[in-house]
Structure 1
Amino acid sequence: MLPPEHDRSTAPAAAAAAATTTTISHPRPDLLIHAVPSAPDTFSILRQSLFSLTLKFENISYSIKVQTNKRGCLSLRNNESQSNTTRTILNGVSGLVRPGELLAMLGTSGSGKTTLLTALAARLPGKISGTITYNDKPFSSSIKRKIGFVSQDDVLYPHLSVLETLTYAAMLRLPNKLTYEEKVAQTEMIIEELGLTRCRNSVIGGGILRGISGGERKRVSIGHEMIVNPSLLLLDEPTSGLDSTTAQRIVATLRGLARGGRTLVMTIHQPSTRLYRMFDKVVVLSDGSPIYSGDAVRVMPYFESIGYLPPFNLINPADFLLDLANGIAPDSIREDQVEHFHGGLLLDRQDDQNSIKQSLVASFRKNLYPQIKAQILTETNISTVARSNSLKGSKNNEWTTSWWEQFKILLKRGLRERRHESYSGLRIFQVMSVSFLSGLLWWHSDPSHIQDQVGLIFFFSIFWGFFPLFNAIFAFPLERPMLNKERSSGMYRLSSYYMARTAGDLPMELVLPTVFVTVTYWMGGLNPSMITFLLTLLIVLLNVLVSQGLGLALGAILMEVKQATTLASVTMLVFLLVGGYYIEHIPLFISWLKYVSFSHYCYKLIVETQYHSLNEVYHCGGSFGYCKVGDFPAVKCLGIGNHSLWWDVTALFFMLVGYRILAFLALKMGHPC
């Protein structure tokens, strides 16, 4: 049951909206869930996890600091004198949304609608003044998992299909009480309700990959949040890029969600008349300041009461509201402009618009703000006991799925999303061509040509240091938008994502070097012992894992591909120079660099494996025709034999663990939620 006040104030809007949505099937999600015969208990379980949530926000203000030059413009040159100025994005916005209500935020571009919506979702960085409460409680981790947020930009995996995207979301976000079949049924219901049946098996696409249309992608984003039946759903421009019929269907669906007991808040740029009639409440912003906040059906009488008469032929109230937000009042301005034109004193249009905006803001603070504040103070729609019980129950089940379940689902999703990348023909061709080329260059090298063999060994350590490092750098920066979105929604633990992401890269990261070493090793004529070959392969694979860990750490720390690539290039260049092949006598003050180079340890271990005894001889053309391997300069400078090779293996293992811990800590600091 809705509050009596709501019934009185929204009855005309509800009747009008019902008249405009009679052609849309199943506007209520609970009817849709009951309509799925394969999952009779799905709705009841989801209903138990849904508790009514009243959103209150009072006197919300938000400012940012920007640098301007002496001309008052954003400074683009470092040699210009700059000063820090404060720009107000939001200024004293207040409102109240109860369960069962749909609130729409209207305003011109740059008026602060998205900023306010982000603040209500507790995702806005920086300090916000004012109070935002959820059932009279501040934001918490338990509340976070009851909130759905649909951003204006559709953040989706491009290589997954619509069905896969929503199914994986259902697997991660729906409670363990539901079986796999019931979660799939919930996914099918969302697909049918949002009109995605035709493209259910099509890939999302994006960038250079052709996929579904922009409107379909927007509906998938909405479905991604609707899958969990959230108590509070916030949407940023959900009708952007959609035709009028599809937009009406989306808003009707959202209104149905609200009537099912949820709280809905959305921003919208310029709604049609039919869409406006579906709104229960509206907030109108002008340059970050509110000029109206309250029931949608009372907006026109309010502005008429303060002297702003709508034109007689007005059809869409939203057009009138947006004109007012821009400082344009059609009737009054038209008369003023005529008078001043005939008098030869035409007022500056910008000054006139600013005066109208200031008048509207002042009227809001005088007439509407006291009423909103009184409603916030006297709101008793949900009892304190019910609120505390619902929140207490939610804390007992902080995560909807276990760590292991999250790991398995994320691993499977990651493998399907990156299968085009891991098993790409271009990547395989790159590795195979280099392996055959190097095998031909070192074709059956004579053991007496120890310089050539040592060069091949060093090539192993360098190539399989560069290749996995630069592949791993892209892992986290490219997935940063998706990670921000899903972590903000509390979909999974960061540790489960990190382990699944790194484990998903292992198959091709280990298969390709195995094939490479197998081909090049035997073509290059290295030690024909099978044990020596297997030890060489294990050392190269360990080097690959260490290199990949360093790439993950650099990507996680910087989160910028260009910066991480630049730093990785410099790092690998240093490792290349101090690896022990090019420079035999490094100055003491900088010789410590080789001890932090995994390429040095890899090179040294393979050399030790190839030449078991430093007393082995090779044909060198000296006085006796033979020389000891241990006396060869490139081998002697490595200090082989001074200590056990297990020290080198231990150093690589410490790097392997250390780099990956560093990568996880960097992610944790960047995504603490």
Structure 2
Amino acid sequence: MSHLKPDSSLSCQLVLKFEEVGYKVRVGKEGGCLSSCYGGQKNVNEKTILNGISGVVCPGEVLAMLGPSGSGKTTLLTALGGRLNGKLSGKITYNGQPFSGTVKRRTGFVTQDDVLYPHLTVTETLVFTALLRLPGSLTKAEKVCQAKRVMEELGLGRVAHSMIGGPLFRGLSGGERKRVSIGLEMLVNPSLLLLDEPTSGLDSTMALRTMSILRRLAAEDGRTVVVTIHQPSNRIYNMFDKIVVLSEGSPIYYGQPSSVLEYFSSIGFSSSISVNPPELLLDLANGISLDSEQTAENSIEPECGSKSVKEKLISAYHKNISTGLKTELSSINPNNNNKEWCTSWWEQFTVLLRRGLKERRHDSFNNLRIFQVISVATLGGLLWWHTPQSHIQDRVSLLFFFSVFWGFYPLYNAVFTFPQERSMLIKERSSGMYRLSSYFLARTAGDLPMELALPTAFVVIIYWMGGLKADPVTFLLSLLVVLYSVLIAQSLGLAVGAILMDVKQATTLASVTTLVFLVAGGYYVQHIPAFIVWLKYLSYSYYCYKLLIGVQFDANDRYQCSPDGTSCRAADYPAIKSVGLTGIWTDVCIMALMLVGYRLIAYLALRRLRPR
């Protein structure tokens, strides 16, 4: 990609070194009650996933990690990208320094599974990423131009205006989605580019074209490129500068691809027939020696034969390659360079806000949601049609309906927000694309237009149809109270979703919470026992209901309380008296604390979601 030159402020060359990298995971289950009661031991074992793997990749080089499925390729790549959770032994350095936020923002990581926004087009996907990740020294037009160049380079021009697609509607093909994922990382010219199976899902021609681009990216722009690949073709195999071959987590070869046949022949694994090096490596990593393949097939215990082959290969690696590799690693002493965020907080916020509005325009502004709200408002208006002022019970019930509907409808919508974007958030945060605070505020602010427009339309319809106080100031205050409650309900939904990060669990908890708030809202139960009265003070529905009552009624308002025409004070009506008409500003302040508190909890819960 010769015409995608890196900006000096964006990137610098990076040397990746990994020495004796090991990784183990715990398998099995702990002993139950019987084992613990009778002194039994916990049945917990450790499985070795990576076992003493070393190597170095310099700028301009492409390192490929080869091996069969389950050999540890993806685990090692994840560890090199600083995304592996758990205890990792050994040492991994980037220009002589450990992994840090600075390194993260200089690293491009392409996962095997494509994590993309389904409702964005290819152009929108790449342009928004360019605006977020390219440095502030470039203008917006230059960033857009960079995105279009990457599209053309990867052959995506034909589908530039096509949506990515998802499970519910058709979009790009698997190969096209893979190229978009690669383009997102190539876009920023990272110092270190890590790719997990970049050719999976691509035909041989497009796979070769993709690897050719990666090869040029390394050679011409001085990038450090590491890929995992299962079984490359000969043409792709010859593009690698170095390869690491893994077998069940242990290295059996490290060095130049051209030396593979010579090396394995020197340790007794030669073949009497012509064989492609990639095929030879895969057979050996599986414990199959070509000259002994027939013997292994006819053997009573073929597993024993494969184990002996693997043990011999590992032993030969430590004897012939390991010592020289240690010398190579100790002789390289790179310099370290740092880099700050590419874009300012405000730039990140505005780009994320625009991207969010485009991605969710098909969900937030859909006809079904609008129909739901308008139909409920119209039906409610007909049921409470021009309620007489003397029918105080109906008017109070209408106000409680306001607080119930707009206390729970936005909560259920907000619960889905973060669980649905969990994989995307982890991916982009792992790349250091933006600050969490800019994402959080942009994501929540992007929901406001629809979250506030629908309740406004709802109140406009049902307020005047329902015969509430025909005063513009009272109407405006009632609308503000409802919108206030909507923001708090949305905040609680965001907090529940961010804490649990599971849609089913979050909706279950939201259902229980709404039921409690509904009962304790001050309308159904007006005399709550003292030992549980604190519940109503946790319910924002109670405060919304109380504020609506306070806006709609004065203490001296009268209503007809008996058939003979006797009038009573509104303040003495039981449903109003139970909540009171005083302390309005205190209630406003308590709701403000809820609004800020719930959103703070949601933000802190997202901070626990560690990028990988």
Instruction: Mark yes or no: TM-score above 0.5.
Output: yes
Aligned with 1:231 (options 166, 191, 205): 191
Measured in 2, the distance between the counterparts of 1:598 and 1:48 equals 49
Match runs of 1:253-652 below 5 Å? 253-260=213-220, 261-314=222-275, 316-335=276-295, 346-380=299-333, 382=334, 387-388=335-336, 390-391=337-338, 394=339, 398-613=340-555, 615-621=556-562, 625-641=566-582, 644-652=583-591
Q: Cα distance, 1:179 vs. partner?
A: 1.3
User: In structure 2, what residue type is equivalent to 1:274?
Assistant: R
Measured in 1, the distance between the counterparts of 2:482 and 2:263 equals 75
Q: Cα distance, 1:126 vs. partner?
A: 0.9
- Look up the match of 1:24: none
- Look up the match of 1:186: 146
Per the alignment, in what secondary structure is the counterpart of residue 201 of structure 1?
coil
User: In structure 2, what residue type is equivalent to 1:128?
Assistant: L
- Look up the match of 1:667: 606
Deviates more, 1:220-229 or 1:480-489: 480-489
| Distance change >3 Å, CA 84–CA 366, structure 1 → 2 | same
Q: Report the TM-score when normalising by structure 1.
A: 0.87
Measured in 1, the distance between the counterparts of 2:362 and 2:598 equals 27
- Confirm or deny that 1:63 pairs with 2:24: yes
Deviates more, 1:47-56 or 1:114-123: 47-56
- Unpaired runs of 5+ residues, structure 2, are 32-40
| Distance change >3 Å, CA 69–CA 304, structure 1 → 2 | farther
Aligned with 1:111 (options 43, 67, 71): 71
Cα deviation code 1:334-354 (max 9, x no counterpart): 2566xxx6xxxx430112112
Measured in 2, the distance between the counterparts of 1:115 and 1:157 equals 25
Q: Would you say the 8 A contact 2:296–2:305 is kept in 1?
A: no
| Distance change >3 Å, CA 445–CA 311, structure 1 → 2 | farther
Match runs of 1:107-146 below 5 Å? 107-146=67-106
Measured in 1, the distance between the counterparts of 2:81 and 2:258 equals 26
Q: Would you say the 8 A contact 2:15–2:59 is kept in 1?
A: yes
Q: Report the TM-score when normalising by structure 2.
A: 0.96
| Distance change >3 Å, CA 335–CA 662, structure 1 → 2 | closer
Q: Would you say the 8 A contact 2:415–2:497 is kept in 1?
A: yes
- Unpaired runs of 5+ residues, structure 1, are 1-28, 34-42, 71-80
Cα deviation code 1:292-324 (max 9, x no counterpart): 11111111111111111135131x311111111
- Look up the match of 2:118: 158
List structure 1 segments (4+ residues) > 4 angstroms apart after TM superposition: none
Cα deviation code 1:612-635 (max 9, x no counterpart): 22x322223256533332222211
Measured in 1, the distance between the counterparts of 2:416 and 2:75 equals 29
Q: Would you say the 8 A contact 1:61–1:130 is kept in 2?
A: yes
Measured in 2, the distance between the counterparts of 1:649 and 1:68 equals 52
Cα deviation code 1:507-532 (max 9, x no counterpart): 11100000001101111111111111
Number of equivalenced pairs: 603
Measured in 1, the distance between the counterparts of 2:605 and 2:540 equals 21
Per the alignment, in what secondary structure is the counterpart of residue 492 of structure 1?
coil
Per the alignment, in what secondary structure is the counterpart of residue 532 of structure 1?
helix
User: In structure 2, what residue type is equivalent to 1:631?
Assistant: D
Per the alignment, in what secondary structure is the counterpart of residue 372 of structure 1?
helix
Q: Cα distance, 1:403 vs. partner?
A: 0.9
Measured in 2, the distance between the counterparts of 1:672 and 1:349 equals 42
Q: Would you say the 8 A contact 1:46–1:228 is kept in 2?
A: no
Deviates more, 1:631-640 or 1:498-507: 631-640
Per the alignment, in what secondary structure is the counterpart of residue 52 of structure 1?
coil
Measured in 2, the distance between the counterparts of 1:252 and 1:185 equals 22
Q: Cα distance, 1:140 vs. partner?
A: 1.8
Measured in 2, the distance between the counterparts of 1:616 and 1:47 equals 73
Q: CA RMSD in A?
A: 1.8
Measured in 2, the distance between the counterparts of 1:335 and 1:219 equals 43
Q: Would you say the 8 A contact 2:74–2:196 is kept in 1?
A: yes
User: In structure 2, what residue type is equivalent to 1:629?
Assistant: A
- Look up the match of 2:157: 197
Q: Would you say the 8 A contact 1:608–1:640 is kept in 2?
A: yes
Q: Would you say the 8 A contact 1:310–1:320 is kept in 2?
A: no
